[in-house]
Amino acid sequence: MQVAAWLRITHKAESLVDVRGHLTSLNRLEAVHMMYCGIDVAKHKHAALILDEKGKVLKPALSFSNDRQGFDQLLGLLAEFSQPVTIGMEATGHYWLSLYDDLTCQGHPVIVLNPLQIAAYRRSGIRKVKNDRNDAFWIADYVRIANLSPTEQDLPSLLQLRELSRFRFGLTDQIGDVKRRILAILDRVFPEYETLFSSVFWKSSRQLLKEAVTADEFADFDLAELSQLLRSTSRGRFGSDKAETIQRPARRSVGVGFLADVVRIKMRCLLEQIEPLERQRTQVDEELEALMAQIPQHITSIPGIGLATGAAILAEIGDVNRFESAEKLVAYAGIDPTVYQTGQFQASQARMSKRGSPYLRHALWQAASMAVRYDPDLRSFYQAKRAEGKHHGTAIGAVCRKLLARIYIILKEQRPYVIRNC
């Protein structure tokens, strides 16, 4: 590094005086030593430790509370050093957000780290000691060794996107749970019902289930009234023919009849739960669309990646520049295959490591499932894996890895996705 600096200085210098002047400037730069502060984040108390560029502890670890008084203690500690202090902290739950916001507002460079990175680095130590002071040391030392850049300034926007996309994931999970419970009821009292509609949860089907649940109730339903109900809820798509199609299997159903009174109450309650949840998800989708419009991105140009899926992938990846290669992003997502080899033995089957964000893996799985339908190249890749005898899930996992590598490129180069014709 010094040789390179010397060559740049002598190249620019026009005289020996210039060389001496540049050398003086270089020496001054070298005299500015970097300091590294590691912060172990917890719910009530944080711990901070500062190292110099050689890894020497400069002051005893500071334990400070997660409030204004504690934050001021940390700022006072940082102010004791005239040299710049680079701060590292783990993204532990949501407890790091307030401290990150306060430090960045004060102009301090902060690097947000994945806890898995620190856990792996800590295992490289000889002594197996785990406490707040020790954790803060490993964080500071990792920042010192890794020579990382401060976390990007767009982090607040990405964090908003992540909060909202994860909330949407929770709503979708709740909706799915309600739907599974509705199907479980029908499996007992009218198992043939699920075959009567493309989706049990269409508007016309939901309205029917508010009026009748068991097979006996559908069999006893007045045919004219059933036809009118179907016609009004389906905007004329269904009528008397559909009514007869429903009543025919109802009369021969093997469903349990004595549960009628109980399941009627349960069905009504479940249907009343699902409708507001879906309205809330629609509201979240509108807010996600507004947030995505504020962030430069081309992820939704990929066939099969819609607004919600794209928001989840973008938010969970965060700053793509912190990944040196697509392979590291694949490993971060936890869709890389595990490898087990010892001596002459090597396992013949590999599974996903499933480390990192489960939200990212879920969104990638959705994106890959749609990509094999709309992207000719990825569809051919999926079909080739299936032709090799791979299970559907294994083939989709392979598509996930290939798709994420392409996502890495478009995020890195900030350009739209180009479909490859096979």
Q: Quick: pLDDT tens for 178-188.
A: 999 999 999 99
Please answer whether residues 95 and 41 qualify as being in contact, where contact means their C-beta atoms are separated by less than 8 angstroms: yes
Span between the terminal Cα atoms of the chain, in Å: 47
Say whether both 43 and 27 belong to one domain: no
Domain encompassing residue 20: 2-31
- Distances 125 to 49, 139, 192, 279 between C-alpha atoms, Å: 17, 13, 62, 51
Residue 64's DSSP bridge partners are 46
Query: Which pLDDT belongs to residue 165?
Result: 94
Q: What is the mean pLDDT of the chain?
A: 84
Give the chain's residues under pLDDT 70: 1-33, 125-132, 151-154, 338-354, 421-422
Neighbours of 257 (CB within 10 A): 13
What amino acid occupies position 397?
A: G
Strand-strand pairing, 110-113 and 85-90: parallel
Say whether both 213 and 317 belong to one domain: no
Q: Which of 46, 37, 42 is nearest to 143 (CA)?
A: 37
Total count of domains within the chain = 4
Residue 35 DSSP label: E
Say whether both 385 and 302 belong to one domain: yes
Out of 263, 286, 309, a domain closes at: 286
Report the distance separating Cα 106 and Cα 110, nearest Å: 11
- Distances 298 to 101, 211, 361, 379 between C-alpha atoms, Å: 28, 47, 19, 21
Contacts of residues 199-203 at CB distance under 8 Å and 24 or more positions apart, as own/partner, are 201/274, 202/234, 203/233, 203/234
Say whether both 265 and 308 belong to one domain: no
Out of 151, 173, 204, a domain closes at: 151
Say whether both 323 and 380 belong to one domain: yes
Say whether both 242 and 217 belong to one domain: yes
Say whether both 167 and 91 belong to one domain: no
Alpha-carbon radius of gyration of the chain: 30
Neighbours of 292 (CB within 10 A): 20
* pTM of the complete model: 0.72
Out of 127, 151, 175, a domain closes at: 151
Query: Which pLDDT belongs to residue 351?
Result: 62
> For 391, phi and psi rounded to 5 degrees?
-65, 155
Query: Which pLDDT belongs to residue 179?
Result: 96
Query: Which pLDDT belongs to residue 113?
Result: 86
In the chain, what's the furthest Cα-to-Cα distance? 105
